[in-house]
């Protein structure tokens, strides 16, 4: 990862001492007096992802985050023998490394209730509602991919593990308000489509063998949600982000919300309550799995830090 530090002039020597002593840091460059706002010196270099979290933590202990600036960027290509040495010196594997400040910032952005979040969630829920009525799994899968609800769920898990009450509150507000708005608009859209003659109540009450699992939760619903939560958090916290799409397709949060909406629109309380149970089970399973996964990763990081300190 590319590291850029803006350090007050009187702290730069401490920063350089910290970075030069770490074998996982390479290609250090110093620009004295180059920074304008905040004023100070600019120190740049490369750090192996496995040690990025420890380096950032050490810089924060020097007060650089409050008096200067710390920035990290992922490097797509780095051709350097010194970089290879830094990666070899860093403990662990870069693909499994967790940079906690990176995760906090990434999920913190996802925890906010925004117009874009509401639009995506509403569109996804409407698609899911139509998929339920047509008994079309392809529409259900499409709704799962469009739905943005995993962002606030991940932020909630990070907030719990990192003890960030504001992040927890923002995430809960985004989820509760987001699903409430999406379900309400989907109810109205269902009634509008019914008035146009495009859908009708018979489509809901007739047998739907391909999608009726949405409102009939069972123990496997919890198991699938839990496993998806583990995979989702791992895809966010490590360099394995390609797995996230599969996670989104494996849980029935948005489809359950869509089924709630059409069931309310057509007065089918049994399906509405069953879908609400499915939604609650999936949200709870993902949150539980996410919190446990992050807690294990944090414990492993502390064990590794203690091992490194003991060996030194």
Question: Is residue 128 predicted with pLDDT exceeding 80?
Answer: yes
Q: What is the pLDDT of residue 88?
A: 75
Tens digits of residue pLDDT in 56-98 = 988 999 999 889 999 988 887 777 778 777 777 776 665 666 7
Taking the C-alpha atoms of residue 244 and residue 107, their distance in angstroms, rounded to an integer, is 14
Q: What is the pLDDT of residue 306?
A: 63
Q: What is the pLDDT of residue 96?
A: 61
Taking the C-alpha atoms of residue 5 and residue 65, their distance in angstroms, rounded to an integer, is 9
Q: Are strands 2-7 and 39-47 parallel, antiparallel or unpaired?
A: antiparallel
Q: What is the pLDDT of residue 34?
A: 92
Q: What is the pLDDT of residue 80?
A: 79
Q: What is the pLDDT of residue 170?
A: 92
Tens digits of residue pLDDT in 239-283 = 655 555 556 666 789 999 999 999 999 999 999 999 999 999 999
As a whole number, the mean pLDDT across the chain is 87
Which of 121-125, 151-155, 196-200, 240-244 is predicted with the least confidence, judged by mean pLDDT? 240-244
Is the model more confident about 26 or about 302?
26
Tens digits of residue pLDDT in 97-123 = 678 777 877 777 777 889 999 999 999
Predicted TM-score (pTM) of the model is 0.80
The whole-number average pLDDT for the span 26-40 is: 92
The whole-number average pLDDT for the span 43-52 is: 89
Taking the C-alpha atoms of residue 241 and residue 235, their distance in angstroms, rounded to an integer, is 4
Q: What is the pLDDT of residue 258?
A: 95
DSSP state, residue 29: E
Question: Is residue 310 predicted with pLDDT exceeding 80?
Answer: no
Q: What is the pLDDT of residue 185?
A: 97
* Lookup: tokens for 154: 């991940």
Residue whose C-alpha is closest to residue 124's, from 83, 188, 65, 185: 185
Q: What is the pLDDT of residue 257?
A: 95
Question: Within 13 Å, how many C-alpha atoms sit on residue 102's CB side?
Answer: 20
């Amino acid at each position: 990862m590319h590291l850029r530090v803006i350090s007050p002039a009187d702290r730069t020597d401490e920063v350089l001492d910290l970075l030069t002593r770490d074998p996982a840091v390479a290609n250090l460059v110093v620009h004295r007096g180059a920074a304008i706002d905040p004023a100070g010196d600019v120190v740049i270099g490369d750090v192996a992802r496995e040690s990025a979290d420890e380096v950032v933590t050490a810089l924060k202990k020097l007060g650089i985050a409050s008096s200067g600036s710390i920035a990290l960027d992922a490097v797509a290509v780095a051709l350097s023998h010194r970089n290879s040495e830094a990666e070899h010196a860093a403990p662990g594997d870069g693909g499994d490394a967790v940079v906690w400040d990176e995760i906090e910032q990434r999920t913190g952005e996802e925890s906010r209730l925004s117009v874009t979040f509401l639009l995506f969630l509403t569109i996804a829920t409407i698609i899911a509602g139509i998929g339920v009525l047509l008994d079309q799994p392809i529409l259900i899968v499409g709704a799962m991919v469009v739905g943005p609800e995993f962002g606030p769920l991940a932020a909630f898990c990070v907030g719990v593990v990192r003890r960030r009450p504001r992040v927890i509150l923002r995430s809960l507000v985004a989820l509760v308000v987001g699903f409430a708005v999406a379900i309400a608009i989907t109810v109205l859209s269902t009634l509008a489509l019914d008035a146009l003659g495009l859908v009708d109540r018979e489509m809901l009450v007739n047998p739907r063998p391909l999608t009726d699992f949405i409102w009939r939760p069972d123990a496997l619903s919890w198991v699938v949600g839990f496993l998806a939560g583990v995979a989702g958090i791992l895809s966010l916290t490590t360099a394995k982000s390609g797995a996230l799409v599969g996670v989104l397709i494996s849980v029935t949060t948005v489809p359950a919300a869509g089924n709630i909406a059409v069931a309310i629109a057509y007065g089918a309380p049994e399906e509405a309550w069953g879908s609400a149970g499915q939604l609650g089970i999936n949200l709870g399973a993902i949150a539980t799995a996410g919190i446990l996964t992050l807690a294990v990763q944090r414990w492993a990081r502390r064990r590794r830090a203690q091992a490194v300190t003991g060996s030194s």
